[in-house]
Amino acid sequence: MPLDRRKFLQTTTAALASGTLLRAGHAGANSPVEGPLRVAVLGSGLRGQNHIRVLLTQPEVKVTAIADIDPEMVRRTHEVFDEAGRERPIVYDRGPEDYRRLLTEATIDAVIIATPWRWHTVMAVAALRAGKYTGMEVAGAFSVDECWELVRAQEESDTHLFFLENVCYRRDVMAVLSMARQGVFGELLHLEGGYQHDLRAVKFNDGKQPYGGGVEFGEKAFHEARWRTQNSVHRNGDLYPTHGLGPAANLLNINRGNRFVGISSMATKARGLHKYVMDQAGPDHPNAGVEFKLGDVVTSMLSTQNGEVVVLHHDTNSPRPYSLGFRVQGTNGIWMDVNDSIHIAGESPEHQWEPAATWLQRYDHPYWRAEGELAEGAGHGGMDYFLIKDFVRVARAGIAPPIDVYDAATWLAVTPLSEQSVATGGTLQAFPDFTRGRWMDRPADFATAEW
Amino acid sequence: MPLDRRKFLQTTTAALASGTLLRAGHAGANSPVEGPLRVAVLGSGLRGQNHIRVLLTQPEVKVTAIADIDPEMVRRTHEVFDEAGRERPIVYDRGPEDYRRLLTEATIDAVIIATPWRWHTVMAVAALRAGKYTGMEVAGAFSVDECWELVRAQEESDTHLFFLENVCYRRDVMAVLSMARQGVFGELLHLEGGYQHDLRAVKFNDGKQPYGGGVEFGEKAFHEARWRTQNSVHRNGDLYPTHGLGPAANLLNINRGNRFVGISSMATKARGLHKYVMDQAGPDHPNAGVEFKLGDVVTSMLSTQNGEVVVLHHDTNSPRPYSLGFRVQGTNGIWMDVNDSIHIAGESPEHQWEPAATWLQRYDHPYWRAEGELAEGAGHGGMDYFLIKDFVRVARAGIAPPIDVYDAATWLAVTPLSEQSVATGGTLQAFPDFTRGRWMDRPADFATAEW
């Protein structure tokens, strides 16, 4: 965003904001960091530990503090530092609000938030107000209001929010983005993606191991099952839309010359989680009596201002192979990841699929071409390496991130909008414009940086 | 339908009907045919000729008459008879209404309608009123009223309408139906299907060959491009839903213990057909100025009373490999045809696809097991053989068909409902219950007959 427009916005929004909204210090934000970037990680569970592991591979980065209330996760996090031969961080563990004390530290430049979903926005808002460059893990929002709150907090700050959607950095996804930008698919028409991942052994465990081994969730469980499963008990919609939506939004230049205008969603009946409890533990287990409200497969259609349609799947309660189910189709060709195939008019044999590999290699993104081997070891197939590297790059420079607060708000809003649509049988929901019209002239610059 | 209920319905509906509705004779209908089944084919274009070719392979069938106004198609049809060494049919070719004269012939037991879409319902209604056992080719309806008209005509007749959806007889589709009925997928949740077929060389030709070679449509074109393409000029919705929907409806027992309750549809922009004209013939061709309204990819979601969701695709204007895109997913497993793979819990390796072939062979439907080799030569991969054989079976016996007027109305109605939804940005449409409540106790008996 040009500096003069930023200044204008800051002035006007600051004028509108109450005093308390701007109480935190902003020293040092929105300008280059001298020396190493000092990062704090809020939530050092397994995901936070992964981020720390990758952060510690980056030059000019120190992870100086963590906030977590679970002693076991703090212990494991210390091991990560020990294994990397790095100094252990300061731990903020005096209850769930202790991260606020962390945010007052002037020695911290940036934070990464990897807590349970319900903490993401509240922590991000606090971090932005404290002037910390903020990386926020993905999820789905609980309300559209929450998305607006995030937008306002960023606009009223002098720093940025980077929405940490790692699948945008997946090798095939980036290659397909390169292909699309070079016009290989022609004009884009129809995209699909989603979160199709059998999470039954994530939503339930035995209270000791993070995955499976039992049918406990909530207080008796460990790791994500402690909190994530409650969302499957109570909510019905696309609870986790961003892995499928983020890449589609980048391809369609959402918030950058395009925007989502409508969404409607339908959910199947909810059978899988109850069946899992029954099959694993029988009818006498207390969780056999839980009524899970999350439909086993939730499908959403999103329309855009420029005339494309995106179909999103959320499918986490059934036995099925993992697949984000990408499909990218334009006037000149189509890629699908479920059959790992491509058809390009005039290049592929008529009416026939070709293996995608040749195309994906030819259009391998410069990031991956340069550092693919380095990345492979960093987790989630290398995506996290580029995600964290990009985070460090923009946080050090104090510049706007490639996936910003408007993207965060837009992608997160799919969840409450889909819940409302599902609850009313599939009614169309208007999609908010979180940019308030600025989508018309924001540039599409994801993954265009020179490293 | 039990005979007493039929009688009741006939009495009540006949009492409601005006005298003219029942003017045609009903002699011989709804009772077994003595001797060979005498079939007339209305519309002897390429599709009608294919039906005739298959009909002539069946014992105890005579094709005694055809109605068509195109001398070239009549000539080609005569060749079909000559090649089969069978007597040429009586031709009704005195204009587009001459089929009505055909329908007055008491020597005709059954008709098959394979005319352009706009003639389907008007001809089927006339044929039912004339007491002919009626086979009607697939399409999409022009209005929901038209679907009701079809239902009323059948209810007021003493004969039947067989909706000729051939993909219901596809080998893999029938095997998957057998798997589903035997519980292999568990409780069904989410289904997909569609018509994803690059029809650009069907919608345009050079006026001489049926497929491609030019960019003409309408009067200057030959075969389907003479009439089908007008629908792409003027309409925007799922124009051809039944190939994807029929198999899904059978799997979900639609109109037989289940029904569709809602549908919403979104269409992408329309680019492909204009691009095709421009690429093939340049901007000076008159058709370069035509504004095609049909969105290149139209997606619909349908919800059911029993809590499943069906996603339908219509995708006919873009370069892409043919695929009906089936997905059948339940609480115990999933089949997808685009990657020709299956995953069944407890049988397949965890979180991994298996090639579908082994499963499809194991559950090969009895029809295909018995006569698969015979069928292979009959067109459309053998589907048409079983379709026509089933038609002859029920028409000869004078019994209700496996795909009846309620199925026809329901599947056809997707088109106008999707058009209305698309035209209003994706709004939810209520789905009519064409059975008027009878879906609650109609048996699910598709492909359960002993041959």
What confidence tens digit (pLDDT) does each residue in A195-233 have? 999 999 999 999 999 999 999 999 999 999 999 999 999
Token pair recorded at residue A391: 């985070």
Quick check: A2 pLDDT over 70?
no
Question: Average pLDDT for residues B308-323, to the nearest whole number?
Answer: 98
From the list B297, B331, B344, the residue facing A190 with the nearest CB is B297
A–B interface: beta-carbon pairs under 8 A: 157
From the list B186, B262, B425, the residue facing A262 with the nearest CB is B425
Going by pLDDT thresholds of 50, 70 and 90, the confidence category of residue B377 is confident
Digit-coded pLDDT (tens) for A25-80: 334 456 899 899 999 999 999 999 999 999 999 999 999 999 999 999 999 999 99
pLDDT of residue B429: 98
Quick one: which of A354, A378, A396, A422 has its CA closest to A57?
A: A378
Question: Average pLDDT for residues B312-330, to the nearest whole number?
Answer: 98
Q: Do the Cβ atoms of A266 and B309 come within 8 Å?
A: yes
Contact B192, B312 (CB under 8 A): yes
Quick one: which of B297, B166, B187 has its CA closest to B243?
A: B166
Going by pLDDT thresholds of 50, 70 and 90, the confidence category of residue B27 is very low
Going by pLDDT thresholds of 50, 70 and 90, the confidence category of residue B169 is very high
- How far apart, in whole angstroms, are the C-alpha atoms of residue B118 and residue B43? 12
Q: Do the Cβ atoms of B333 and A315 come within 8 Å?
A: no
Quick one: which of B439, B413, B449, B390 has its CA closest to B162?
A: B390
Most confident range, picked from A1-5, A33-37, B112-116: B112-116
pLDDT of residue A378: 75
Question: CA of B386, closest CA in chain A: separation in Å?
Answer: 27
- How far apart, in whole angstroms, are the C-alpha atoms of residue A133 and residue A398? 8
Question: Average pLDDT for residues B402-415, to the nearest whole number?
Answer: 98
Digit-coded pLDDT (tens) for B118-157: 999 999 999 999 999 999 999 999 999 999 999 999 999 9
Backbone dihedral angles phi then psi of residue A329, each to the nearest 5 degrees: -130, 130
Backbone dihedral angles phi then psi of residue B378, each to the nearest 5 degrees: -90, 0
From the list B308, B320, B353, the residue facing A321 with the nearest CB is B353
Quick check: B2 pLDDT over 80?
no
B156 contact A CB<8A: no
Quick check: B201 pLDDT over 70?
yes
- How far apart, in whole angstroms, are the C-alpha atoms of residue B224 and residue B115? 10
List, in order of start, the domains of chain A with CATH numbers. Answer: 26-167 (3.40.50.720), 170-366+405-448 (3.30.360.10)
Enumerate residues 52 to 81 of chain A having a beta carbon within 8 A of any beta carbon in chain B.
none
pLDDT of residue A31: 80
Quick check: B380 pLDDT over 50?
yes
CA B127 to chain centre: 17
Enumerate residues 258 to 297 of chain A having a beta carbon within 8 A of any beta carbon in chain B.
261-262, 264, 266-269, 271-272, 275, 295-297
Going by pLDDT thresholds of 50, 70 and 90, the confidence category of residue B10 is very low
Question: CA of A447, closest CA in chain B: separation in Å?
Answer: 26
- In Å, what is the CA distance from B31 to each residue of B69, B95, B398? 32, 32, 5
pLDDT of residue B300: 99
Do you know the residue count of chain A? 451
Q: Do the Cβ atoms of B190 and A426 come within 8 Å?
A: no
Going by pLDDT thresholds of 50, 70 and 90, the confidence category of residue B5 is very low
Contact A331, B271 (CB under 8 A): yes
- How far apart, in whole angstroms, are the C-alpha atoms of residue B65 and residue B100? 12
Kindly state the percentage of chain A with pLDDT values over 90.
91
Chain B residue closest in CA terms to A261? B425
Tokens 């039906």 sit on residue: B51
ipTM of the complex as predicted: 0.93
Quick one: which of B416, B402, B404, B403 has its CA closest to B146?
A: B416
Element (H, E) at B388: helix B383-397
Strands in A165-293 per DSSP E: 188-196, 260-267
Question: CA of B137, closest CA in chain A: separation in Å?
Answer: 25
Quick one: which of A285, A289, A195, A295 has its CA closest to A237?
A: A295
Angle (CA) A403 A405 A410, round 5°:
90
Q: Do the Cβ atoms of B266 and A301 come within 8 Å?
A: yes
Q: Do the Cβ atoms of A426 and B303 come within 8 Å?
A: yes
Which residues of chain B neighbour A339 with C-beta distances below 8 Å? 338-339
Digit-coded pLDDT (tens) for B241-294: 999 999 999 999 999 999 999 999 999 999 999 999 999 999 999 999 999 999
Tokens 């041959």 sit on residue: B451
Question: Average pLDDT for residues B159-168, to the nearest whole number?
Answer: 98
Strands in B143-198 per DSSP E: 161-164, 188-196
Q: Is the pTM of the predicted complex or chain greater than 0.80?
A: yes
pLDDT of residue A379: 67
Between A2 and A220, residue with greater pLDDT: A220
Most A CBs within 10 A among B264, B341, B421, hence the mutation to make, goes to: B264
Q: Which residues contact B77 (CB under 8 A, 6 or more apart)?
A: B44, B48, B49, B52, B66, B68, B89
First vs last C-alpha separation in chain B: 19
Which residues of chain B neighbour A187 with C-beta distances below 8 Å? 269, 271
Q: Which residues contact B9 (CB under 8 A, 6 or more apart)?
A: B155
User: Edge-to-edge strands of the sheet including B297-304?
Assistant: B354-355, B341-344, B333-336, B327-330, B188-196, B309-315, B297-304, B260-267, B429-430
Contact B182, B156 (CB under 8 A): no
Enumerate residues 195 to 224 of chain B having a beta carbon within 8 A of any beta carbon in chain A.
198
